[in-house]
Amino acid sequence: MSLHTITSTNASHLMRLRQSRTRLTEPGFRGQSLAFDAQGRHLASMGRGAVGSLQWWELRGDSLRVCANHSVTRGTDVGILAGGDLLVSLTLKGLLQSWSVADGALRHELQLDAIQPELGMALQGNSVLVTSPQGHAFLWDARRGEQVRELENASTPLKCCALSPDGRLAVSGTYEQGHPPGTLRFWETATGKALSSIDLDAHSVKAMAFEPSGERLAVATSENQIHLIEVANLRRVRSLAAPPVGTHGLSFSPDGSLLAVACSMACFIILRTEDGQQLFSHSDTNDMQASSALFSPDGRTLVWGQGDGTVGVWGLPPERSTPP
């Protein structure tokens, strides 16, 4: 089945094309963190909760072929390195691991010093950025299994984070609890040096994502706003209204014209970045979970973690052939 690219003119016509097989969700299930590889050949899911599953699939035409499935305690994040051969996972117990995508074998792991209530993780190239509520941020080389460097301490609790597409810039958002609110912290990854910060009109930063071109950064805050930041000069250029955003809540379409927003109450929406117009929305009945909503690298599909523990694949309905 040949699919068309999702654009602002057709996004309102999205439909669910298929879904993964239903998996059992343990008590305390809070949703899924999802990740594609850069080529769109594999899709990974980390079930978040007291007990969950780390699994990934090979995407073959209209099917999702299971490659591996591991039981994970208090899993929180998942990502796939740019080469597509290694997968990285993180747990709330501070266990950082890399796995072979081909056979599911564990390649490297790093146990962080302490159990953290909120850890952020982002991938770019072979680098993994991890941030903590203690203000620490460091880079880990997932291919070699070695820590590269610690970034200059932010002196405020950090939550979500991102790495720019060229790998030169690291960014993280501050975490509320009586500290300076809604601040973005930037670092130079080559040296770990802290750069400028941006203060936002919010209590905390909830989620963030770089545009594939690297020109803009989308940042969701606790005030139900998504700010678009121009990366070249680190300035805010536009703010969009949105429902409450989940931890893994933002994904740009490949051309940057659309933004998939995964909400904290079991739904996702698609916004046009030019003016913030909502083009599509969908929700399910499990309002206790918040899962990723991601555009595929080719922009032809969108995946969302559903409340029953499956992953739905969304796209445009196949064209009907015109009778002669």
Q: What is the pLDDT of residues 86-108, one digit of tens each?
A: 999 999 888 999 999 999 999 99
The answer to whether 167 touches 125, Cβ cutoff 8 Å, is: yes
Q: What is the average per-residue pLDDT within 28-49? A: 89
pLDDT at 176: 62
Q: Tell me whether strands 86-91 and 75-80 are parallel, antiparallel or unpaired.
A: antiparallel
pLDDT in tens, 12-33: 999 999 988 766 566 667 888 9
Per-residue pLDDT at 51 exceeds 70: yes
Report residue 268 as tokens.
């996702």
Please identify which residue in the block is written with the tokens 């690291």: 170
The answer to whether 34 touches 44, Cβ cutoff 8 Å, is: yes
pLDDT at 181: 66
Rounded to an integer, what distance in angstroms lies between the CA atom of residue 142 and that of residue 85?
A: 11
What is the average pLDDT score of the chain? 88
pLDDT-wise least confident of 82-86, 120-124, 150-154: 150-154
Cα–Cα distances (Å) from 4 to 35, 258, 269, 298, in that order, read: 21, 15, 19, 10
Per-residue pLDDT at 198 exceeds 60: yes
CATH assignment of 31-298, among 3.40.640.10, 3.20.20.80, 2.60.40.1180, 2.130.10.10: 2.130.10.10
Per-residue pLDDT at 68 exceeds 70: yes
Q: What is the average per-residue pLDDT within 255-281? A: 93
The answer to whether 46 touches 89, Cβ cutoff 8 Å, is: yes
Does pTM surpass 0.85?
Answer: yes
pLDDT at 287: 66
Of the pLDDT bands very low, low, confident and very high (cuts 50, 70, 90), residue 202 is confident
Tally DSSP H helices, then E strands, for the chain. 0, 28
More confident residue, 209 or 177: 209
Q: What is the average per-residue pLDDT within 209-220? A: 96
- Tell me how far apart the terminal alpha carbons of the chain are, to the nearest angstrom: 21
